[in-house]
Amino acid sequence: MTPSAQPRQRARSPYARAADYVAAASIFLQDNLLLTEPLRPEHVKPRLLGHWGTCPGITTVYEALNTLVRERGADVLLVTGPGHGAPALHANLWLEGTHGDYDPALARTGAGLRELARRYCAPDGFPSHLSPAVPGVLHEGGELGYALATAFGAALDAPDRIVACIVGDGEAETGPTAGAWHSNKFLDPVTCGAVLPVLHLNGAKISSPTVFATMTDEELTHLFRGYGWAPRIVDVRDDPSGEPLTAAVLDAHTVIRDLQHRARTGERPVRPAWPVIVLRSLKGQGAPAQSGGTAIEGTFHAHQVPLPDAREDPEQLRALEEWLASYRPRELFDAQGRPVAEVLAGVPEGDTRIGAQPAANGGKLRRPLDLPPLARHAVDVPHGPGSAEASPTRVLGGWLADLMRNTAVGRDFRIVSPDELASNKLDAVLATSGRAYEWPVEEYSEDLTRSGRVMEMLSEHNCQGWLQGYLLTGRHGLFPTYEAFAAIVDSMANQYAKWLKASREVPWRAPVSSLTYLLSSEGWRQEHNGYSHQGPGFISNLLNRKNTVTGVYLPPDANTLLVTMERLLDETGKINAVVVGKHEAAQWLDLEAARAHCRAGASAWEWAGTHAGRDPEVVLACAGGIPTVESLAAADLLRRDLPEARIRFVNVVDLCALAPPIHHPHGLSDEAFHALFGDTTPVVFDFHGYPSAVHQLLHGRPHPDRFHVRGYLEEGTTTTPYDLLALNGATRHDLAIAMLTHLGAHSARSRSLAGRYADLRDRLRRELRATGVDPAEITAWKWTA
């Protein structure tokens, strides 16, 4: 027995001792789970994985929240930032019986405990971090920095909900967490619930001290008061009973309810200071004080597995046995391995248990949106393709404004954006629901309201976290942003796509609303921002995620955008990117044609081709707003200058339609793909993003090397739209030249035209350099039937 272990374990409540014991046993043991016989090497798992250091602190928080639920009837949802402390969550879920409710094999018996330990970090079992397979969980925790923003998203428009959020002190060092502390300024105490953050300071991360743990209480108090919080610092290093934290949680709940009551009865606080708890605990509390001369308890050596060689090293095995025995498991579990009544006395019942929180399986709470009809907002194309102009996003903004009106009562739809709603011409929604902001603002500020359902903050991380928390608790939303800035949340999108993929494999998880990014201010029209804003790489990022949960859409005009958004806002279980322009541009399809085109995912625009029902000599394909214009202009050149050439024109709106159906569920059938592209016909493809993305999708299609893809080649600067296209070899003239190389039957004429188009392109570039603007023959071009 280590000198410090026994007194510390005695100070813990029976519930906390039992939870700590189950967490430690899950990490170390595969047999003899309750130490009914001396511990032998074969009782220890051959592969020890996990993180012990944060587990006792997590249990201390869990126990305090249990008291809050039991004594106050609070509706508590827990978001655990240090998700690597999964053994603690599993232990608490097993003790409260939620694990057994979802899977009888994990019942509160000796056999259930053995199965829980067996599954932890085992093939087809539970991973080392939290995951969708864990009840009561909506945040994996491994993606450090996003727990707090996700917690705020879960609290929005849920007026009775308390979202407790454990923020690890390593996690607290991240930029996203630093920005997320400002989320308190967007939380309306009238219409929303509350977030109770618990910053868990246990002193160390993997191998060094954490920044926050080195700060004094005074410094922490000043910091959080500066953020607008009311901090409460609780130190349980010398009193691990959990009682000080429980008292702080109950006090914080009193303050939260007082703030909400005042706001809801007309006495709205000017700057509501929500409580935040800073919990100082001993890292790895209860572990051996030292092993082999190395300090463990209270140091970073307790972060992961404190006794990693317990199976092979007799001294470590002896220390492990003494450590586990110090919890006195025979006092905590009966002869059948069931927790005794004293352990379970503080556990809530039924759906009030934290692990049974309904909002943590938000798909079951989800209601379909009341989507407005599209016809009222569709653009009339009275005289055929190209006969009308409109801003696609401005048109969509009117439809979204109607959607905001339809959801005003239920408050289950929000838009998050990093201060780019008006810039992306979606500001019509602000007339229906202003921008949410709680603190006092300057008089000249526009469209701000405390109850607004548009949330704008110059933090893509916050926007993503807010929306994830909102969707995962059963609601709906949209994330418009500049295309180039979507890459800021690449890692968050990666992790969320993994979450959705894993959720599909959990039978009891109900699907939640899809997360949709609306990427406007596209790279091809960033002439005033320049090279830094010319980045279509988010498409490529999504294409590398699991194909069952991702989609990429490039509507060529306003009506196809309306149809696409109607579909995606009614969809579940996906993460999608919609890339579209915001400027006034030609409109190609009426609403009926747009619906047919979007249903197909890709289709031939017969009116733009010249093959007249015969086999084409070349296919000209495109995906994206600007590529559609350039491709149609290229087709127009050849229609005029080489009318005998047989060209089929194909537009792709659902990019993943290019993939074989065995590789992506949106993939065109072999027959449909053949009808558009043939089997050996050369294809010139003008793509909005990096060409490699199209080549990636085409893998497995017949003769993919016949596809000659133009797109963004990482060439850019502050220049005109045409010049940016020319820098990347994607102008209408470049496309026409590329097609001419495949029109062998017209070789002499093709060579002559190719030279003329190259000269024309070069002349236009000289002119625009002299004038600073694109020539009228580019900007004034229109499609004529």
Per residue in 368-420, pLDDT (tens digit) is 999 999 999 999 999 999 999 999 999 999 999 999 999 999 999 999 999 88
- 173, part of any domain: yes
Residue 2: per-residue pLDDT: 45
- Nearest of 323, 297, 329 to residue 310 by alpha carbon: 323
- 377, part of any domain: no
- 759, part of any domain: yes
Q: Are residues 579 and 610 in the same domain?
A: no
| Residue 185 and residue 269 in contact, taking contact as beta carbons nearer than 8 Å | no
H/E stretch holding 199: strand 194-201
Neighbours of 61 (CB within 10 A): 26
Q: Are residues 609 and 581 in the same domain?
A: no
| Residue 543 and residue 654 in contact, taking contact as beta carbons nearer than 8 Å | no
- Chain-wide mean pLDDT for the chain? 95
Give the residue carrying structure tokens 């879920």: 93
Residue 4: per-residue pLDDT: 46
CA dist., res. 233 & res. 244, Å (int): 10
| Residue 103 and residue 109 in contact, taking contact as beta carbons nearer than 8 Å | no
Q: Are residues 638 and 677 in the same domain?
A: yes
- 84, part of any domain: yes
Domain boundary among 295, 329, 353: 353
Longest Cα–Cα distance in the chain? 95
What token pair was written down for 80?
Answer: 């655990």
Residue 355: per-residue pLDDT: 98
- Nearest of 170, 176, 163, 173 to residue 136 by alpha carbon: 163
Q: Are residues 349 and 406 in the same domain?
A: no
Neighbours of 458 (CB within 10 A): 12
Please classify residue 528 by burial: count the beta carbons closer than 10 Å to its beta carbon, then call 0-12 exposed, 13-18 middle and 19+ buried.
Answer: exposed
Q: Are residues 610 and 576 in the same domain?
A: no
Instruction: Detail the DSSP E strand segments found in 393-504.
Output: 413-417, 435-436, 448-449, 454-456, 476-482
CA dist., res. 92 & res. 20, Å (int): 9
- 366, part of any domain: no
The single-letter DSSP state of residue 684 is E
- Rg (Cα) of the chain, in Å, rounded? 30
β-strands 647-652, 602-604 pairing: antiparallel
Give the residue carrying structure tokens 């002896």: 318
Q: Are residues 142 and 267 in the same domain?
A: yes
| Residue 687 and residue 624 in contact, taking contact as beta carbons nearer than 8 Å | yes
Q: Are residues 422 and 556 in the same domain?
A: yes
- 358, part of any domain: no
- Provide the β-strand partners of residue 519: 481, 579
CA dist., res. 13 & res. 9, Å (int): 8
- For the chain, what is the domain count? 3
Residue 3: per-residue pLDDT: 42
* CATH code of the domain in which 656 resides: 3.40.50.920
Question: pLDDT below 50 — which residues of the chain?
Answer: 1-5, 7
Q: What SS3 string covers 216-253? A: CHHHHHHHHHHHCCEEEEEECCCCCCCHHHHHHHHHHH
Q: Are residues 606 and 580 in the same domain?
A: no
CA dist., res. 678 & res. 683, Å (int): 9
Distance of CA 28 to the CA centre of its chain: 33
SS3 574: coil
Q: Which domain holds residue 485?
A: 388-585
Domain boundary among 585, 615, 638: 585
Q: Are residues 517 and 575 in the same domain?
A: yes
Helix 591-600 with 558-568: angle, nearest 10 deg? 60
- 94, part of any domain: yes
Q: Are residues 440 and 337 in the same domain?
A: no
Neighbours of 606 (CB within 10 A): 11
Residue 748: per-residue pLDDT: 83
Domain boundary among 353, 379, 405: 353
Neighbours of 479 (CB within 10 A): 23
pTM: 0.96
Q: What SS3 string covers 148-197? A: HHHHHHHHCCCCCEEEEEEEECCHHHCHHHHHHHHHHHHCCCCCCCEEEE
Q: Are residues 656 and 764 in the same domain?
A: yes
* CATH code of the domain in which 39 resides: 3.40.50.970
- Provide the β-strand partners of residue 707: 683
- 243, part of any domain: yes
- Nearest of 33, 42, 139, 146 to residue 86 by alpha carbon: 139
CA dist., res. 380 & res. 740, Å (int): 35
Q: Are residues 311 and 342 in the same domain?
A: yes
β-strands 413-417, 476-482 pairing: parallel
Please classify residue 91 by burial: count the beta carbons closer than 10 Å to its beta carbon, then call 0-12 exposed, 13-18 middle and 19+ buried.
Answer: buried
CA dist., res. 145 & res. 130, Å (int): 15
Residue 16: per-residue pLDDT: 97
| Residue 684 and residue 694 in contact, taking contact as beta carbons nearer than 8 Å | no
